């Protein structure tokens, strides 16, 4: 009983003292991993990835990745500085690379390290499509989604310990059933919805960033429609996925476009 109480207490203390504010939404989120802890690890992993993969340099496509990335980063700085978050990006080391890979993908590691795969370029088609992708990925880094996932993972692990302690007096078979039930419940009831929430949040912030950078956010709809067509119905059901379905995503983006345009207008950008 004492061990169970201690486990719950540890979780409550983490939740109480590890809350931060999202500068784009104003909402509180849980994160106990600092930039000082996660950035050096991310930078090292990024450098290792570049050494092990073919980085495209000097082409028009590679130059576009850098140019669009710099504009998205500048948009983030403008927004953060204007909203009382000057210095928020201290410690970020922005880098933008195009990597030869047929995968339809792009990502941004904590601290601003971005990779775009050549496989996604036929779908981005133009700079606005590329800005949709890079705005989304940069948004993940800006609001520490990677660190949030690590933090929630720790809570899940602590919860599993709590279940083990609470059921220690039961048979081994009963303990296994409780652990399996806990794993399924947290995975589909918490972890996957949490990940989909991050994707929706990154879409919203990404739209704002691309609009401030001068790219029409309505172009994001065209990009995601092309992504949907490319998937060809092969995506898993939404409740089994880390990402919202394409139709959900497109509907959400349509609703968010007016807000993105309004934010851009504050910086003199109109569409």
- DSSP label at residue 254: H
Ramachandran angles phi, psi of 99, nearest 5°: -120, 135
**Six-digit token string for 162:** 């709590």
CA-wise closest residue to 117 among 128, 131, 130, 102: 102
Alpha helices in 125-189 (DSSP H): 127-142, 145-166, 172-186
Determine the 3-state secondary structure of 108 from DSSP: strand
CB 169 within 8 A of CB 220: no
Instruction: Kindly give, in sequence order, each residue whose CB lies less than 8 Å from that of residue 4, ignoring residues fewer than 6 positions away.
Output: 162, 165, 166
Instruction: Please pick, among 37, 48, 77, 137, the residue that the annotation labels catalytic.
Output: 137
Determine the 3-state secondary structure of 69 from DSSP: helix
Instruction: Kindly give, in sequence order, each residue whose CB lies less than 8 Å from that of residue 81, ignoring residues fewer than 6 positions away.
Output: none
CB 192 within 8 A of CB 239: yes
**Six-digit token string for 10:** 């540890």
137 in active site:
yes
For the annotated catalytic residues, the residue numbers are 137
């Amino acid at each position: 009983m004492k061990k169970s109480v201690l486990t719950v207490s540890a979780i409550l203390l983490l939740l109480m003292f590890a809350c931060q504010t999202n500068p784009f939404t104003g909402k509180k989120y849980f994160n106990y991993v600092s930039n000082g802890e996660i950035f050096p690890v991310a930078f090292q992993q990024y450098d290792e990835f570049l050494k092990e993969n073919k980085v495209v340099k000097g082409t028009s496509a590679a130059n576009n990745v850098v140019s669009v990335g710099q504009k998205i980063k500048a948009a983030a700085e403008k927004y953060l500085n204007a909203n009382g978050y000057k210095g928020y990006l201290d410690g970020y080391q922005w880098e933008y690379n195009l990597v030869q890979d047929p995968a339809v993908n792009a990502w941004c590691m904590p601290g601003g390290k971005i990779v775009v795969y050549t496989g996604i370029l036929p779908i981005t088609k133009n700079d606005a499509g590329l800005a949709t992708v890079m705005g989304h990925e940069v948004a993940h880094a800006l609001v520490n989604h990677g660190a949030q996932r690590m933090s929630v993972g720790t809570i899940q692990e602590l919860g599993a310990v709590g279940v083990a302690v609470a059921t220690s007096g039961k048979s081994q078979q009963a303990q296994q059933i409780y652990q399996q039930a806990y794993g399924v419940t947290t995975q589909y009831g918490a972890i996957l919805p949490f990940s989909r929430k991050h994707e929706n949040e990154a879409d919203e912030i990404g739209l704002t960033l691309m609009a401030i950078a001068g790219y029409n956010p309505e172009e994001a709809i065209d990009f995601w429609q092309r992504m949907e067509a490319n998937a060809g119905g092969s995506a898993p059901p939404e409740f089994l996925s880390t990402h919202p379905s394409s139709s959900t995503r497109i509907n959400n983006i349509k609703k968010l476009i007016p807000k993105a345009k309004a934010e851009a207008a504050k910086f003199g950008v109109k569409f």
